[in-house]
Chains A and B, each alone.
Chain A
């Protein structure tokens, strides 16, 4: 795993000392809010509805047990005993006091974590496949490249004032678990004749104007990767719009300028950028790769435990194939029925840290789906691990099912929200469990956002739910048929929204329709949707309208 160098540590220490002084000047009244706001945002500190919120980056979602304990310490000592894992592989603390934030940042720095570039018009926290380095289907570990990009972009002088925020995601597997197509730049590692290269997508994004990224180059040799990314960001920095914040993301630049022209500009820019790098990036990448060497896999036998029905159910839904036959990837659900998706208590974080240390080569991951992954678990330890998860209330066997919902904080916390997301997620999870349909429905991605900014990825949910304010009442719009992986698609709006009370019955009608429409129990919702289209689902959602049409 990547360890901070002395340079990184000094940089962080200096940065925290600087912010501590700025907070002191703010508290003494020397700095006004107008002066302070950009400074606090640069350090991940937002103001939400009820309190400040501190957003801490977890680069490419990778943590060791000491870092997880560091997060637990912040939750317990300075917050209200929990943290919220987000779709950006960050963690948010919802209740820090301004005067405590410098101490929190120092505590985080002790374990090599920080909140830099989690805000502002910069290159944000680089995200990656949460199964990186462990997945059986992986071509190469995407994290060395993600780390290279993190080092290159952190405090990059040319890119501190981009037209808008800039998000990069990397996957090393053809099964895209990093939603690369919904990022400003999406990188997919590909192999061609034994050589590793990158498919580069550009201009993806959700929010107000959702777009799926377009392929800018099918196979970029690794030696050109960083110069090429720098060329893209440089071109965007120059021609991206600064007159209208809603048109400032690179997806709009691409849309207005055209893929071919962007490609021409990038390739022109590449020549100078490549020369300026002089191969330094390649040497750095080699060095970084050393830090991501796979752990010392224990090859002492594959004594699969005898499986109880409960353990079998857990393995079926929460365990993924590992590149090493004696190992398993375990996804720990942070979505027990009725809980807030993505929330973890300090105690849960500590249990997870202990488990990673005891069984899992000291590694943890945070997924964009707001779950925690133990990527290196020997199969022989699965039974013990399961017992300990169960004892800690962390053994919910629902990964990929209807209750494994992505939900943004919505109006329970977020100042930009137009409606709540969390209670909707909780209600869906408990309702479909209570009526006994969760297992029968099977694989399904529901994603909920509390406003058009789409932090909850609703556009790419098989069922997306967008919370809006209709004349002072919460109202929920449903989109169908979105997808978040290599087959990324933006969902179609099904029709008018539903009140909070009408939403759950509407979803039940929709899903009962799916159960009737599907071609056997093995056909998941999204496949049925692609086969039969929107209409039958629309009819299930809006039965009265059909009746009126007939009557008319």
Chain B
């Protein structure tokens, strides 16, 4: 197992379609900064299995590569950075909620 293993569990909210992250309080959070970062495969895969069992809450759960930044966990790949922010052509998605 790689010592660099660093993953976040994400999905979309069943009702709203919104991007959500699995948080430390065992709930789906809106902000990636609340996400749990898994550092070993076994725990991550177990959480993913739990997420699949929560099909009444979320759709399409999967694990993404994470990095750690000053503001907390963040996605490693630009695709996930877009999911975290929203599209670049309108201030919609998460960036909109962030502005209130």
- Specify which chain B residues have a CB less than 8 angstroms from the CB of A28 in the assembled complex: 56
Is A47 located at the chain interface by the 8 A CB criterion? yes
A50 contacts B60, CB within 8 Å? no
Tell me the residues in window 23-54 of chain A with beta carbons closer than 8 Å to chain B beta carbons.
Answer: 26-29, 32-34, 47-52
Q: What is the total number of residues of chain B having a CB less than 8 Å from a CB of chain A? A: 25
Pick from A29, A97, A343, A420: contact of B16, CB under 8 Å: A97
A488 to B86 CA separation, bound complex (whole angstroms):
36
Closest to A340 in B: B89
A33 to B11 CA separation, bound complex (whole angstroms):
12
Minimal beta-carbon separation of A538 from chain B (angstroms) = 29
Pick from A48, A94, A474: contact of B78, CB under 8 Å: A474
A32 to B59 CA separation, bound complex (whole angstroms):
9
The contact size tier of chain A is 35 or more
A82 to B92 CA separation, bound complex (whole angstroms):
12
Is B55 located at the chain interface by the 8 A CB criterion? yes
A411 contacts B18, CB within 8 Å? no
B14 contacts A98, CB within 8 Å? yes
Q: A411-B82, A474-B78 are in contact. Are A98 and B17 (CB under 8 A)?
A: yes
Tell me the residues in window 50-99 of chain B with beta carbons closer than 8 Å to chain A beta carbons.
Answer: 55-56, 59-60, 76-79, 82-83, 86-90, 92-94
Minimal beta-carbon separation of A342 from chain B (angstroms) = 11
A 407-421 binary contact with B (CB < 8 Å = 1; else 0): 000011100010010
A50 contacts B83, CB within 8 Å? yes
A343 to B90 CA separation, bound complex (whole angstroms):
11
Minimal beta-carbon separation of B77 from chain A (angstroms) = 6
Q: A29-B56, A412-B82, A473-B78 are in contact. Are A97 and B15 (CB under 8 A)?
A: yes
A95 to B18 CA separation, bound complex (whole angstroms):
9
Closest to B90 in A: A80
A340 to B87 CA separation, bound complex (whole angstroms):
11
- Specify which chain A residues have a CB less than 8 angstroms from the CB of B94 in the assembled complex: 50
Tell me the residues in window 4-35 of chain A with beta carbons closer than 8 Å to chain B beta carbons.
Answer: 26-29, 32-34
A49 contacts B60, CB within 8 Å? no
A252 to B93 CA separation, bound complex (whole angstroms):
39
Is A221 located at the chain interface by the 8 A CB criterion? no
- Specify which chain A residues have a CB less than 8 angstroms from the CB of B78 in the assembled complex: 411, 469, 472-474
A80 to B17 CA separation, bound complex (whole angstroms):
14
- Specify which chain B residues have a CB less than 8 angstroms from the CB of A343 in the assembled complex: 89
A50 contacts B86, CB within 8 Å? yes
- Specify which chain A residues have a CB less than 8 angstroms from the CB of B35 in the assembled complex: none
Pick from A26, A80, A423, A473: contact of B88, CB under 8 Å: A423
Is B12 located at the chain interface by the 8 A CB criterion? yes
Pick from A32, A80, A98, A472: contact of B15, CB under 8 Å: A98
Is B19 located at the chain interface by the 8 A CB criterion? yes
A469 to B77 CA separation, bound complex (whole angstroms):
10
A95 contacts B82, CB within 8 Å? no
- Specify which chain A residues have a CB less than 8 angstroms from the CB of B90 in the assembled complex: 80, 82, 340
A47 contacts B82, CB within 8 Å? no
A47 contacts B87, CB within 8 Å? no
Minimal beta-carbon separation of A31 from chain B (angstroms) = 9
- Specify which chain B residues have a CB less than 8 angstroms from the CB of A33 in the assembled complex: 14, 55, 59-60
- Specify which chain A residues have a CB less than 8 angstroms from the CB of B19 in the assembled complex: 49-50
Minimal beta-carbon separation of B98 from chain A (angstroms) = 13
Is A57 located at the chain interface by the 8 A CB criterion? no
A422 contacts B88, CB within 8 Å? yes
- Specify which chain B residues have a CB less than 8 angstroms from the CB of A417 in the assembled complex: 79
- Specify which chain B residues have a CB less than 8 angstroms from the CB of A97 in the assembled complex: 15-17
A82 to B82 CA separation, bound complex (whole angstroms):
20
Is A361 located at the chain interface by the 8 A CB criterion? no
Minimal beta-carbon separation of B47 from chain A (angstroms) = 17
Which one of B17, B76, B90, B93 has the highest number of Cβ atoms from chain A below 10 Å of its Cβ? Answer: B17
Is A522 located at the chain interface by the 8 A CB criterion? no
A 46-90 binary contact with B (CB < 8 Å = 1; else 0): 011111100000000000000000000000000010100000000
A51 contacts B89, CB within 8 Å? no
Minimal beta-carbon separation of A360 from chain B (angstroms) = 29
A343 to B17 CA separation, bound complex (whole angstroms):
21
Closest to B83 in A: A49
A 304-345 binary contact with B (CB < 8 Å = 1; else 0): 000000000000000000000000000000000000100100
A47 contacts B59, CB within 8 Å? yes
Which chain A residues have a beta carbon within 8 Å of chain B's beta carbons?
A: 26-29, 32-34, 47-52, 80, 82, 94-99, 340, 343, 411-413, 417, 420, 422-423, 426, 469, 472-474
Can you list 29 pairs linking A and B with CB atoms under 8 Å apart? A26-B14, A28-B56, A29-B56, A32-B55, A33-B55, A33-B59, A33-B60, A49-B19, A49-B79, A50-B18, A50-B92, A51-B16, A80-B90, A82-B90, A95-B17, A97-B16, A99-B15, A340-B90, A411-B78, A411-B79, A412-B87, A412-B88, A413-B87, A417-B79, A420-B88, A422-B88, A422-B89, A472-B78, A473-B78
- With A29-B55, A96-B17, A99-B15 known, 12 other A-B pairs at CB within 8 A are A47-B17, A47-B59, A48-B17, A50-B17, A50-B87, A82-B90, A94-B87, A95-B17, A98-B14, A98-B16, A422-B88, A426-B89
7 tightest CB-CB pairs across the interface, nearest first? A29-B56, A51-B17, A412-B87, A52-B17, A50-B93, A32-B55, A340-B89
